[in-house]
A = this chain, B = another copy of it.
């Protein structure tokens, strides 16, 4: 697995190809091209959409030959499935990076919502939408994406719980469990409305998010909401 003696840093050719790495491990080469392919796929999904995303285009963007792509991902379905996991990584990374760096101020909820909204307007969100909609009618992709979605769901819940361990003060544990789900549903919905590029959708989104923020503050500070 870990062979030494061959990888001699001093033995690199002076500048044959930049100051790059000559003589990489098979594992390194595989990982590198696979990463390039997956990133290119995600980029294509985000920029061109699922329909216009072809393996040819992906290879072009990745700077990889079609043969190499076909070697690592025998079929387009395999490529897309792997790309879905990459999108999951990206989104989780974004969520954690965004929610992790929040100071303890009183307006944590508001800023958290604003930052999350930023994520839902970004490339990873677009790619996820494309995959989600495509999965509905693709019997091969759907089960795979279902597992990925479940993981995303759990990660979101965990990240939210890390941020607000005790939840909103006015709500019991059952209701508090629904809070992140509600929030993310709203964000996903508003994100959909934004896709046509309408200014009204943008203003509506801010309006709705303002209400959500008010509700959060309200139930965190003021009244307990009794069961009905």
Contacts and interface: CB of A to CB of B under 8 A. Distances in A.
B218 A136 contact: no
Size class of the A contact interface (CB-based, 8 Å): 35 or more
Contacts of A214: 225, 228
B136 A198 contact: no
A178 B211 contact: yes
Given A47-B137, A146-B198, A153-B200, A211 B182 contact: yes
Nearest to A141: B196
Contacts of A178: 207-208, 210-211
Nearest to A136: B195
Nearest to A175: B211
Nearest to A177: B207
Contacts of A190: 185, 189
- Please tell me how many copies of the chain the complex holds: 2
A184 interface: yes
A113 interface: no
A13 to B, nearest CB: 43
B228 A217 contact: yes
A129 B210 CA distance: 25
14 contacts: A47-B137, A132-B192, A146-B197, A149-B196, A149-B201, A177-B207, A178-B208, A185-B186, A185-B190, A186-B186, A186-B189, A188-B188, A189-B192, A214-B225
B225 A134 contact: no
A198 B150 contact: yes
A228 B134 CA distance: 41
Contacts of A186: 182, 185-186, 189
A223 interface: yes
A133 B50 CA distance: 9
A145 B138 CA distance: 24
Interface string A130-148: 1011111110001001100
